[in-house]
Amino acid sequence: MRPIFHTRSLAAVPLVLAIAVLAGACASGAPIYTFQPTEAPLVYALSSEGGNEIETPAGAQGADYTSEATMTLAFGEITDEGTPFTVTIESIVLETGGDFGGSTTDLTEDLAGKPFAGMMAPDGSLVFSEVPEFARNNLSVADMQRVASALLFPLPPGGNMAVGSWAHRVTLPMGGGLEGESVYDGMISAAGDTVWNEIPATLFVSEGVVLMEGTGQPEGAPSEIDLVNEVETRLLYFWDHARGVLLAIEASGEGGGDISTMGFSMPMSVYSKMDIQLVQ
């Protein structure tokens, strides 16, 4: 007889796995490869999708998700510590489906107008000095930090394109009702000139691995969960070098690992895609 394995409490997992500069050109017309202080926040639209499949004792069970969000981004003057940033999630809707059941969650009223502010170091690592209070089911402010961080990445140190490649490292809390960390460790480099929506741009490519390790008992889970995943990740950043503005991001990731609960250790595979575009 096949064991009956209840996994509805794992529905938050795909959200964890997923699911991150309005300025004028300088007077000389030289390319700009540093973040410019913003006179008014830029507005970006984010779309993402992803999912996972877990090999449970009762057979393979899968979940998927999509998310749509609108965010604003502003930068301050660069200091010795790094680049001050402020990201505000003005709207966000999450949808989940699959064998774990489906739901639609609109978090706009919880987050609109509430900034995520902090400092970005030259390697892209982030220190948040201000985050809103937020908790909904198995989602917490940690999950929203992951959303806000999607807009942030390191440009070449000192704006020097001769560097070749440079480190890209971001450590964030796990989220999804789990304690732990999600760590991206990669390298980023310029991949040449391109055009985005008829705008001349420089393409930066970051490649690395996201290591996710989390432990806890999410709301509705019958026992503690241990999660370990490694996801090979590739991010494309389209940069308007005339104005010093991020135009768009395209990201994808695939990988897997194990999730353990109730004495079972189960292999899992994950995938994710994300697209971010400048709206105004």
State residue 29's pLDDT score.
63
- Which tens digits make up the pLDDT trace of 77-113? 999 899 999 999 999 999 988 877 788 999 999 999 9
pLDDT band at 221 (very low <50, low <70, confident <90, very high): confident
The rounded distance, in Å, linking the Cα atoms of 269 and 61 is: 11
Find where tokens 């930090």 sit: 145
Q: For residue 177, how far is the Cα from the chain centroid?
A: 17
Domain boundaries, given as residue ranges, for the chain: 8-278
- Which tens digits make up the pLDDT trace of 143-157? 999 999 999 999 999
Top-confidence residue, 263 or 12: 263
pTM equals: 0.87
Over the Cα atoms of the chain, what is R_g? 19
Picking from 147, 138, 143, 18, the residue whose alpha carbon sits closest to that of residue 70 is 147
